[in-house]
Amino acid sequence: MVETALRALIENRFGMLGLVVVSLLALYGVAYATRPAPAAAPAPQPSRVPVESVTAVCPDLAGAAVSVVAPGQNGKSGQKGAGEVAVTELGEDGEPVGTLTETGRLWQKTPKGRTGPLLVAGDGAVATGLEAAQTGTQTSGALRGLAGVRCVEPSASAWLVGPGPAAADVTLYLANADSAPASVRLAVYAGEGTVLDDHGLVLEPGEHRAIPLKDLAPSPLIMAVEVRTSKGRVAVAARAAMSGGRGVDWLPQAAPPATRVVVPGIPGGGGKRELYVAAPGELDAVVSIKAVTADGAYAMKNRETLEVPAGSVASLDLTTGIGGQAAALVLTSETPVVAGMTVTATGSLPDVAFSAGAGPIDLGSVVADNRASGGDKPDKAATLVLTAPEKAGRVRVTVIPARGSAPKPLEVSIPAARTREVELPAARGPFSVALTPLPGSGPVYGGRVLTDRLGDGLLITLQPLAPARVWTLVPPLTDSPVTVLP
C-alpha cells in the first residue's frame, strides 16, 4: 500500500515537471510571436565633404580679362600651402599663364595676344569655392559691348537658350579638358521645331572647337541648344553678337528641363525684356509665368501663360509686364521646359545681356569678376539682383578685393516673394564677391549685373548666380560580396 502511494507521488512529480516545461514553452512561443518588430536600421546617407579639386574652362580670351578667386574654407582668407590653382592654355603643350596659392585674394590678368580657351585647375584646400570668369569690353565695331561669362566645368550635358543665327552671330565653343576623347551630340530647337537633331562629333583630349551655329542651323530667330556626350565630358559656352551691332554677350548655361524654372537676375531700368522657353520633349507645354519684383509676386496681365509646341521654342515680350523693375521669373508647367532671357540696355547703341534658368544658392555663391567706380554718377557699377520667391531670405555678402583691405561684410534681407537690388560698394580695382545664406533663410536666387556707361549707350553683362563649388556629396560605402564574386 505504501509502495503504491510512493510510486504515484513520483509519477505525479514528473508529470508536474512536464506541465511546467510545456507551460514555459507556450509562454516563450507567445512572447516570440508577439514581440515588437526590431527597429529598422537607418538608411546610409551620403556624406558631405569639401571640394578639393576643380577644373573649369574659360572659353575664348580674345582680349578678355581672366579673374580667378579662391575664397577659402569657411571664409578664411590668407591660407597658404593648401594646394595650388594653375591657369594655363588648354592642351597638352599649353603654356602657363599664372598660379594662385593664397585664398581670399582675387587674381586677375589680361593675357596679351592670346586667343582660345584657358584651363583653370585647382587641387587641395585652395580649390574649395574656386571660381573663375572672363570679361571683355569693346567700345566699337560689330562686337561692341560688355561680355562676361563664368568659366564652366566640363560636364556630360548642357543647355543654352537665346537668340538664333538668324538674329545674331552665335558661336558655340566646345572644349575637352580631360585625358580621354569625348563623343558629343548636338540638338537645336527653334520656333519652327527641331532643326538639328543628334549631330555628332568627337573631341580629342585637349581639343577645342568654335562652331558658327549658322553653319549647322541658319534659320532660327530664337533657339535652344542641347549638348550632351555619350562618352567623356566637354565644357560648353556660346557667344551671341546681335545683328546690326546691337550688342554682344555670352549665353549662360541654363538649368536642365524641369517643371519649375526660376529665371533670376533681371535688372531694373529701360530696354526690352524678352523671355524664351523651350519644350524639348514630345509633349506641348503650357507655361504659367509669374514675375517676382520689389512689389511682390504676380501674374502679368495678358502674359499669364505661354504655349510652347513640343520640340520647339517660343518667346514672349515682358517689357511692359515687368515695368522696368528688377525681377525674377517663376515658370511652372506640367511638361519640363528650359528657359532664358534677353535684357537690352538703353542708348543710341544698345548692348545686350542674357539670363537663364538657375538653381538656388543654398551652398552659397561666388562671382569672380566685379567692377564699380565711386562718385555720384559712377561710370561702372556692379549690382546683385536677389530674389526670395518663397520664404524670406537672408545672405551675407563678402567682398574679396584684388588688393587692399576688404570692407565689412554686408547682411542682406530679402522679404518673402520679393526681389531686391543691392549695389556693391566701389573698390580700388576689380573685386570678387561671395554670398553665404544665413541660418533660417529661404531659397535665394540671383544674378550679378555689370554696367559701364558710355556716351552712346549703356554696356551691360549679366551672370546668374551659380551654387558655390564648396561641398560635394559622397555616396555611402556598404559591404557587398558582389565586388568579389565572379
- Give the model confidence (pLDDT) of 392-448 as tens digits: 999 999 999 988 888 899 999 999 999 999 999 877 789 999 999 999 999 999 999
Residue 99 and residue 47 in contact, taking contact as beta carbons nearer than 8 Å: no
Give me the pLDDT at residue 62, please. 83
**Distance, C-alpha 450 to centroid of its chain:** 19
Residue 247 and residue 145 in contact, taking contact as beta carbons nearer than 8 Å: yes
Of the listed ranges 19-33, 266-280, 438-452, the one predicted with least confidence: 19-33
Residue 126 and residue 120 in contact, taking contact as beta carbons nearer than 8 Å: no
Does position 228 have pLDDT exceeding 90, yes or no?
A: yes
DSSP 3-state assignment of 75?
A: helix
Rounded Cα–Cα distance for residues 272 and 319 (Å) = 5
Q: Which residues contact 274 (CB under 8 A, 6 or more apart)?
A: 315, 316, 317, 318, 319, 341, 342, 344
Rounded Cα–Cα distance for residues 365 and 342 (Å) = 23
293 forms bridges with which residues in the sheet?
296
Number of residues written out for the chain: 486
DSSP 3-state assignment of 408?
A: coil
What value does the mean pLDDT of the chain take? 89
DSSP 3-state assignment of 213?
A: helix
At residue 461, what are phi and psi to the nearest 5 degrees? -145, 155
Does position 13 have pLDDT exceeding 60, yes or no?
A: no
Domain boundaries along the sequence of the chain: 48-471
Give me the pLDDT at residue 273, please. 98
- Sheet with 145-150, strands from edge to edge, namely 106-109, 65-69, 131-138, 145-150
Q: Which of 340, 374, 482, 366 is nearest to 433 (CA)?
A: 366
Give me the pLDDT at residue 9, please. 46
pLDDT-derived band of residue 79, with 50, 70 and 90 as boundaries?
A: low
Rounded Cα–Cα distance for residues 461 and 343 (Å) = 9
User: Cell 596679351 belongs to which residue?
Assistant: 112
Rounded Cα–Cα distance for residues 247 and 353 (Å) = 8
CA distances from 474 to 51, 440, 477 (A): 11, 25, 9
Q: What is the C-alpha end-to-end distance of the chain, expressed in Å? A: 77
pLDDT digits (tens, 9 = 90+) for 317-371: 999 999 999 999 999 999 999 999 999 999 999 999 999 999 999 999 999 999 8
Residue 211 and residue 171 in contact, taking contact as beta carbons nearer than 8 Å: yes
DSSP 3-state assignment of 169?
A: strand
Which is more confidently placed, 114 or 469? 469
pLDDT digits (tens, 9 = 90+) for 111-124: 887 788 999 999 99
CA distances from 112 to 64, 78, 109, 283 (A): 9, 29, 9, 49
Give me the pLDDT at residue 372, please. 83
Over residues 49-63, mean pLDDT: 91
Rounded Cα–Cα distance for residues 413 and 393 (Å) = 6
Q: What is the pTM of this model?
A: 0.88
pLDDT digits (tens, 9 = 90+) for 126-140: 999 999 999 999 998
Q: What percent of the chain has pLDDT over 90?
A: 73
Does position 75 have pLDDT exceeding 90, yes or no?
A: no
